[in-house]
Amino acid sequence: MSNYSCSEPPYNYTTACNGEFTMESLQVRVPFIVTEIINTVHRQVSKALTTDPSKAEDGKLIISQLTTLIHEMSTNKPLTPIQDDHIGDIPQINSFLSKYYQENTWIDAPFLYWETYLYRRIAGIFLRSNNFKSFDYFADSKKKAFLDSVSAIAQLVAKVDLLVSECSETSASVAQDTIQKRKLVGFLEILQISLWGNQTDLSMFPDLKTADLEKMQANLLSGDNKHNLVSNDSEAIFHIAESAKADSISIVLDNSGFELFGDLLLAHWLIELGYTSKVIFHSKNIPWYVSDVTPWDFSYVVDSCANKDTFINDTNKSDPSFLENIATLSTMAQKWQSHLKSGVWQVQSHHFWTGPYQYTLLPEIAPDLWATLSQSNLVFFKGDLNYRKLISDLAWPTDTPFVRAIGAIADSTTAPAIIALRTSKAEVMVGVDPETFKPLDKNVPNWKSIGKYGVIQCSSGRFA
Ligand SMILES: O=P(O)(O)OC[C@H]1O[C@](O)(CO)[C@@H](O)[C@@H]1O
């Protein structure tokens, strides 16, 4: 029996309650993603047939388990316990499943639950194999989307480098309040870069073409996206950042590639302008929602940026301004590499991030992680899934205050400032004024789930 009600908001956001988008996800979008994984493994099997028969057999077994999974989804079977793969989190996930969602089928279960269940179950299929334990079935698409972003990356690095140097100017001829204004303007820009990078997510757009990616990035570069920001606490965030130098700031990452690049620029800004002495990046430890960052992706992106050859090809090799930007990027990324060596930047992974839990449960389910996050003054949560978990994926009325929706982790005596940078790809949203959302409700079909609108929201926690 499910423990939610579809009749009165706020209710759990489920396929059963919310027809169109979740149903489309269950029947089309997500099966497409699983089918792409099957195709990827199939290519591995074909290669291994003559050279490594045991790998080929292993691959075939994986394909059959993935096929079973698609069949269970399409025939709306109950969500069965996940087989243990011994990385440590499955018993807790299964007991959560049996406590709250026993006997739920795919359609009954909350969208948040069945989708996280699916990605965790897929990871288990690979982790339990002999030859594919550390195989990242999403690696190729993540790499491609990153390399396709070259033009936007080159332009953004130049922009951020300039903003940092303008804000760091120490000459007596520039008044302090001018520097302060520049810092505010720069901070607002950086937040926008990190926010809109979240549009380029390969689970929402699994078939993302280079031209579509470039179009999204062009909207970010031109500033057009700013009109689609429906809730914006950026100035409040700036004042919290300014009010006290933090020992650490945390960024709970979402997608690799272009979005991660924007997050690295945010971290660069925070260190260069002295807002903190340490940035902790929180990544996933298994392939997740197609393009989420794993520690491997993190190193790949930083190292690729440090290496000038990554982006230079026959088309751009004689473009002087491009080459200048790539040189700037390389210098900046070499600094990032040394931050990673010295611990100024740290990448941490925790099982909690790939569980099904809403973040009100963070202190209870992962007290160690919550202790780390609480030591940071600011914790940035990137993207749609983190946002849904922050607000327990409930269909709150759209003008519910963000602080109310995130519940206990907004505690005003102990909690860090919690910041959401999210482009909206699901029907749940809070903290938007009626004069903003009412016209959208009326005029833009499915405006909350099309990935075009964004929010920058903040709970001030102990800085209230
Ligand atoms: O990468 P993000 O921003 O978390 O987006 C992924 C989310 O968007 C969706 O496509 C729709 O909610 C889900 O796959 C997932 O919740």
Least confident of 63-67, 181-185, 381-385: 181-185
Task: Report the separation in Å between the CA atom of 207 and the middle of ligand 1, taken as the mean of its atom positions.
Answer: 14
pLDDT value of residue 201: 74
Which residues share a beta bridge with 394? 12
Q: CATH 1.20.930.60 region(s) of the chain?
A: 19-127
Task: Report the separation in Å between the CA atom of 68 and the middle of ligand 1, taken as the mean of its atom positions.
Answer: 24
Identify which has the larger pLDDT, 313 or 210: 313
Report the amino acid identity of residue 321. Answer: S
Tell whether the model's pLDDT for residue 3 goes beyond 70: no
For the CA of 112, the nearest atom of ligand 1: 16
CATH number of 19-127: 1.20.930.60
Question: For residue 186, what is the DSSP state?
Answer: H
Tell whether the model's pLDDT for residue 142 goes beyond 70: yes
Q: Which of 252, 289, 381 is the best mutation target for the ligand 1 pocket, counting ligand atoms within 8 Å of the beta carbon and taking the most? A: 289
- What is the percent of the chain where pLDDT is above 90? 78
Q: CATH 3.40.50.10880 region(s) of the chain?
A: 139-463
Of all protein residues, whose CA lies closest to atom 12 belonging to ligand 1?
426
Average pLDDT along the chain: 92
Instruction: Please give the helix or strand (H or E) that residue 2 lies within, else none.
Output: none
Tell whether the model's pLDDT for residue 399 goes beyond 70: yes
Tell whether the model's pLDDT for residue 321 goes beyond 60: yes
Tell whether the model's pLDDT for residue 20 goes beyond 70: yes
Q: What is the mean pLDDT of residues 386-408?
A: 94
Tokens of 253: 């990452």
Ligand 1, CB cutoff 6 Å, lining residues: 115, 198, 201, 203-204, 254-255, 289, 383-385, 388, 425-426
- Contact call for residues 115 and 384 (beta carbons, < 8 A): no
For the CA of 388, the nearest atom of ligand 1: 16
Tell whether the model's pLDDT for residue 445 goes beyond 50: yes
Q: What angle do CA 264, 208, 333 make, to 5 degrees?
A: 20
Least confident of 19-33, 162-176, 448-462: 162-176
pLDDT value of residue 240: 96
Tell whether the model's pLDDT for residue 258 goes beyond 90: yes
**How do beta strands 279-283 and 229-232 pair?**
unpaired
pLDDT digits over 262-275, tens only? 999 999 999 999 99
Of all protein residues, whose CA lies closest to atom 5 belonging to ligand 1?
384
Distances in Å between the Cα of 460 and the Cα atoms of 122, 237, 410 are 37, 8, 7
- Say how far apart CA 36 and CA 44 lie, in whole Å: 13
pLDDT value of residue 353: 98
Tell whether the model's pLDDT for residue 9 goes beyond 70: no
Tell whether the model's pLDDT for residue 389 goes beyond 90: yes
β-sheet with 229-232: strand ranges across = 229-232, 454-459, 417-423, 378-382, 249-252, 279-283, 345-349
Of all protein residues, whose CA lies closest to atom 10 belonging to ligand 1?
204
Helices marked H in 244-358 — which ranges? Answer: 258-272, 295-306, 320-342
Architecture, CATH, for domain 139-463:
3-Layer(aba) Sandwich (3.40)
pLDDT digits over 94-107, tens only? 999 898 888 899 99
Q: What is the mean pLDDT of residues 133-151?
A: 94
Q: What angle do CA 405, 407, 409 make, to 5 degrees?
A: 125
Q: For the chain, what is the radius of gyration of the CA atoms?
A: 22
Q: Which of 385, 388, 390 is the best mutation target for the ligand 1 pocket, counting ligand atoms within 8 Å of the beta carbon and taking the most? A: 385
Q: What is the mean pLDDT of residues 16-27?
A: 83
Residue with tokens 């299964």: 94
> What residues contact 105, with CB distance under 8 A and at least 6 apart?
76, 77, 78, 79
- Contact call for residues 460 and 409 (beta carbons, < 8 A): no
Instruction: Please give the helix or strand (H or E) that residue 281 lies within, else none.
Output: strand 279-283
Phi-psi region of 223 (alpha: psi -120 to 50; beta: other; left: phi over 0): left
Task: Report the separation in Å between the CA atom of 383 and the middle of ligand 1, taken as the mean of its atom positions.
Answer: 7
Identify which has the larger pLDDT, 181 or 6: 181
- Contact call for residues 45 and 59 (beta carbons, < 8 A): yes
Task: Report the separation in Å between the CA atom of 426 and the middle of ligand 1, taken as the mean of its atom positions.
Answer: 7
Task: Report the separation in Å between the CA atom of 133 and the middle of ligand 1, taken as the mean of its atom positions.
Answer: 25
Identify which has the larger pLDDT, 22 or 432: 432
- What is the percent of the chain where pLDDT is above 70? 97
- Rounded to two decimals, the ipTM of the complex is 0.95
Least confident of 29-33, 112-116, 313-317: 313-317
Tell whether the model's pLDDT for residue 148 goes beyond 60: yes
